[in-house]
């Protein structure tokens, strides 16, 4: 089965091809593409993929590693796409720990080798990539469903190709042909998302103003213009937009659009011969740079940096650049994922490795679907701090790039407020696809009086996006405050020795000069009751240390459901 979730045509599903066209060696690539084009001319749809190593079959000048068992070309011919209702969603899956094949030390050696080639004038920019591996079991289609719903890549696709299954959440268009017009949208220039709104905007502005990132983008745009010139009408190649900044769950991405008018005899096959592989995942100049890639990267890329797409019977075509793409080997129970970045003379090893890590964060975000959560206090049919909960929820929806459904949220609040007299604990769950669910339970009376709390045994992960947004992903909190814990809650801290929050609420500390709460920058959930108190200047922000906690006149656990809960520490700060 093949499924496309391209925004151009919506959901397209292909099953049971009348013919398949497969190339496993470079010399088979050209003939297989011609056979597929013959089928298209007979009225069939075509759907499938080309791996990065198909490049050597497109043009013998383009050097790659030999394929490691993944097909170079796989295309199926189909009479018509199927409808979405014909596909069922069953089963679960499990993904192991992702491990990079290249460590920082080896990465530094390879970047040094690339910079020496740039110094010698052999290349201007090299898109260096590395692979990550993990064990996998279960249903890959369910994983794709979660990945696509979470990331909403504009060019997502799912393909079953023998023992291999490809799950792509690509945001990047390789090329689109509509009639006689062709468009490409190369992505080059990346910044990590900031974990909270102000930091996120700082990263956005830094990318927008970066001369280095813009220079990388310009190089690739020039390469794509040159490639398009091989199949375009004279003088028709143009840059439709330059240096747009787009938001994705883990990165900000710089994107440009280049278009042209095709010469009358040109088809999707000619476009592949002129453009493949995409310049955004090679560097410039393409042929010489691909020699450099083959020299420094230790293994083939496979589908990563290849292309996935379909061709209509009338010749219109859409293909993505297969980035943010996972391949699963069902025989071996292994999953593989690639990340990469453009290396120029100005590249710094630590910064580039951080960029790869930011892109690899896709794996964690994609590994499990989640919902945003608001937990509220409902008293006699009225939600406490409802406007604060709505504002925080909207900010998280926008951060993850989801669509805000104001009416659905208002209706959910209304459902929670129809409980009548009494005190209740309500939950609103907001999903990536726009669904909004609610839960309501009676609010049990608290134990009352002073509660015992303890420090967690280890710090929270630094710059962890899940810390700043309230979601159903509670693993890190449950690990630090297990259900069987004898204390009321555990007090968290970061790797800089700054105390942050509890697993279920914020911290307020009474010092001689007033009431203080840790700042958002220390790494904590922006609680609604906390924000209410800040707005009324009842508390102020400052970094809180272990010493501050242990010498404070009083400590409180606070949240919007329980209010103020006085607490006392029962252990010392960790070493």
Report the residue count for the chain.
575
CA distances, 451 to each of 48, 51, 351, 557, 566 (Å)? 60, 59, 45, 9, 6
Strand bridging mode 489-493 / 451-455: parallel
Q: Which of 400, 14, 46, 336 is nearest to 195 (CA)?
A: 400
Angle subtended at Cα 109 by Cα 103 and Cα 115, rounded to the nearest 5 degrees: 130
Catalytic residue among 37, 188, 312, 498: 188
Where are the extended beta strands (E) located within 402-504? 423-431, 436-442, 451-455, 489-493, 498-502
Burial-class residue 427 by CB neighbours within 10 Å (0-12, 13-18, 19+): middle
CA distances, 266 to each of 17, 190, 230, 273 (Å)? 26, 33, 10, 11
Looking up tokens 């289609």 gives 141
> Does 172 participate in catalysis according to the annotation?
yes
| 269 CA to centre of own chain | 31
Cβ(64)–Cβ(294) below 8 Å: yes
Burial-class residue 440 by CB neighbours within 10 Å (0-12, 13-18, 19+): middle
CA distance 326 to 491: 37
Cβ(104)–Cβ(361) below 8 Å: no
Angle subtended at Cα 256 by Cα 284 and Cα 366, rounded to the nearest 5 degrees: 90
CB atoms within 10 A of CB 452: 13
- Find residue 183's DSSP bridge partners: 176, 259
Catalytic residue among 172, 216, 297, 501: 172
Q: Which residues contact 298 (CB under 8 A, 6 or more apart)?
A: 101, 102
Cβ(512)–Cβ(558) below 8 Å: no
Helix H, strand E, coil C: the string for 367-416 is CCCCEEEEEEEEECCEECCHHHHHHHHHHHHHHCCCCCCHHHHHHHHHHH
> Does 238 participate in catalysis according to the annotation?
no
Tokens of 132: 């990550």
Strand bridging mode 164-170 / 325-329: antiparallel
Phi and psi at 173, nearest 5°, equal -80, 125
CA distance 179 to 219: 28
DSSP state of 290: H
Residues with catalytic function: 172, 188
């Amino acid at each position: 089965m093949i499924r496309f979730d391209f925004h151009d045509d919506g959901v397209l599903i292909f099953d049971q091809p009348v013919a398949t066209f497969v190339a496993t060696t470079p010399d088979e690539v050209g003939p297989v593409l011609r056979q597929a084009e013959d089928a298209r001319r007979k009225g069939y749809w075509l759907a499938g993929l080309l791996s990065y190593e198909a490049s050597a079959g497109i043009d013998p000048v383009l050097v790659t590693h030999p394929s490691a068992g993944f097909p170079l070309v796989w295309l199926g011919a189909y009479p018509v796409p199927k409808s979405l209702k014909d596909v069922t969603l069953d089963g679960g899956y499990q993904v192991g720990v992702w491990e990079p094949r290249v460590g920082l030390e080896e990465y530094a050696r390879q970047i040094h080798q690339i910079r020496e080639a740039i110094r010698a004038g052999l290349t201007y920019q090299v898109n260096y990539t590395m692979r990550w591996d993990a064990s996998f079991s279960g249903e890959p289609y369910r994983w794709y469903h979660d990945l696509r719903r979470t990331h909403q890549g504009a060019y997502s696709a799912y393909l079953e190709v023998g023992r291999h299954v490809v799950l792509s959440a690509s945001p990047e268009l390789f090329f689109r042909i509509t009639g006689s017009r062709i468009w490409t949208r190369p992505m080059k220039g990346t910044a990590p998302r900031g974990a909270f709104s102000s930091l996120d905007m700082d990263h956005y502005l830094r990318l927008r103003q970066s001369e280095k990132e813009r220079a990388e983008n310009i190089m690739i745009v020039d390469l794509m213009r040159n490639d398009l010139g091989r199949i375009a009408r004279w003088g028709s190649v143009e840059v439709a937009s330059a240096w747009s900044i787009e938001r994705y769950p883990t990165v900000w991405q710089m994107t440009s659009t280049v278009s042209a008018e095709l010469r009358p005899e040109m088809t999707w096959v000619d476009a592949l011969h002129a453009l493949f592989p995409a310049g955004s995942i090679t560097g410039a100049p393409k042929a010489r740079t691909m020699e450099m890639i083959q020299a420094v990267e230790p293994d083939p890329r496979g589908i990563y940096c290849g292309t996935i797409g379909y061709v209509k019977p009338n010749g219109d075509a859409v293909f993505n650049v297969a980035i943010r793409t996972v391949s699963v080997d069902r025989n071996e129970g292994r999953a593989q994922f690639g990340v990469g970045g453009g290396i120029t003379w100005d590249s710094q090893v630590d910064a580039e490795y951080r960029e790869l890590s930011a892109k690899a964060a896709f794996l964690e975000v994609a590994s499990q679907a989640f919902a945003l959560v608001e937990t509220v206090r409902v008293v006699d049919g009225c939600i406490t701090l409802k406007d604060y909960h709505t504002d925080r929820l909207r900010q998280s929806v926008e951060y993850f790039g989801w669509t805000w459904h104001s009416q659905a949220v208002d209706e959910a609040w209304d459902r929670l407020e129809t409980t009548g007299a009494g005190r209740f604990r309500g939950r609103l769950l907001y999903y990536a696809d726009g669904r909004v669910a609610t839960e309501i339970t009676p609010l049990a009376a608290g134990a009352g009086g002073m509660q015992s709390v303890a420090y967690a045994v280890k710090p929270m992960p630094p710059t962890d996006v899940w810390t700043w947004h309230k979601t159903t992903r509670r693993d890190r909190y449950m690990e630090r405050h297990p259900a069987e814990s004898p204390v009321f809650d555990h007090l968290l801290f970061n790797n800089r020795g700054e105390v942050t929050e509890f697993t279920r609420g914020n911290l307020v500390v009474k010092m001689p000069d007033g009431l203080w709460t840790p700042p958002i920058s220390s790494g904590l959930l922006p609680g609604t009751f906390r924000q209410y108190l800040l707005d009324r200047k009842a508390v102020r922000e400052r970094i809180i240390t272990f010493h501050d906690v242990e010498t404070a006149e009083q400590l409180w656990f606070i949240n919007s459901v329980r209010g103020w809960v006085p607490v006392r520490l029962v252990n010392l700060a960790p070493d």
